[in-house]
């Protein structure tokens, strides 16, 4: 009988994030890597993450971003951070299922990158400003990292290959392009939408 080892979610996500960063050759500060791990650990229970931020997980993120723009001080920082965090989590873990929703992954990429950029602008200290700036500028790369963490198997069906190609068209993700090449599909530069 195989041995079952209990592992805390932080340890599990740390291993997976570090492996994904390495495989994808994504350079990341220690703070950003730790932030990704913490984000995943926090979102294991969405209710816990949302109550810590004092926001409703059911409220559309565009409303939360608008609320953040009109807020001030600590509340503004919390709302920008929440919008960036939830956008990154959704785009990273649920990008394939977004195809069936009213909004697509590029909506979350745009919203999350903007929210982190604003969080950087209003950060309470330089370290947080640098961290949120990195999350903003590398948003698509970090979405790719979370995609890898969430995937449990290789591409095996033509529909998953089509979803991968559509993701590449929408985001221009280098990881998606590499996966397409691995499957024998050559993505054509300039075909994806520009954001």
- How many angstroms separate the CA atoms of 104 and 100, rounded? 8
| Model confidence pLDDT, tens digit, residues 99-116 | 666 678 889 999 999 999
Closest CA to 157 of 96, 106, 98: 96
- How many angstroms separate the CA atoms of 110 and 80, rounded? 13
pLDDT of 1 reads 46
In 3-state terms, what secondary structure has residue 189? coil
pTM: 0.74
User: Is residue 180 pLDDT above 80, yes or no?
Assistant: no
Better pLDDT: 29 or 153 = 29
Radius of gyration of the CA atoms of the chain, in A: 17
pLDDT of 152 reads 42
């Amino acid at each position: 009988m195989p041995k079952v080892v209990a592992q805390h979610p932080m340890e599990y996500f740390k291993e997976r994030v570090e492996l994904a960063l390495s495989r994808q050759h994504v350079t990341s500060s220690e703070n950003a890597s730790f932030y990704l791990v913490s984000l995943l650990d926090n979102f294991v229970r969405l209710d816990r993450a949302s109550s810590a931020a004092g926001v409703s997980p059911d409220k559309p993120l565009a409303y939360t971003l608008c609320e953040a723009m009109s807020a001030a001080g600590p509340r503004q920082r919390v709302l920008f951070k929440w919008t960036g965090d939830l956008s990154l989590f959704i785009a990273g873990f649920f990008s394939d299922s977004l195809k069936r929703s009213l909004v697509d992954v590029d909506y979350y990429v745009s919203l999350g990158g903007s929210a982190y950029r604003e969080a950087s602008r209003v950060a309470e200290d330089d370290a947080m400003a640098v961290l949120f700036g990195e999350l903003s500028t590398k948003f698509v790369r970090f979405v790719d990292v979370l995609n890898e963490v969430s995937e449990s198997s290789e591409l095996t069906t033509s529909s998953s290959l089509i979803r991968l190609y559509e993701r590449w068209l929408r985001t221009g993700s280098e990881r998606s392009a590499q996966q397409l090449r691995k499957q024998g599909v050559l993505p054509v530069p300039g075909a994806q939408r520009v954001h």
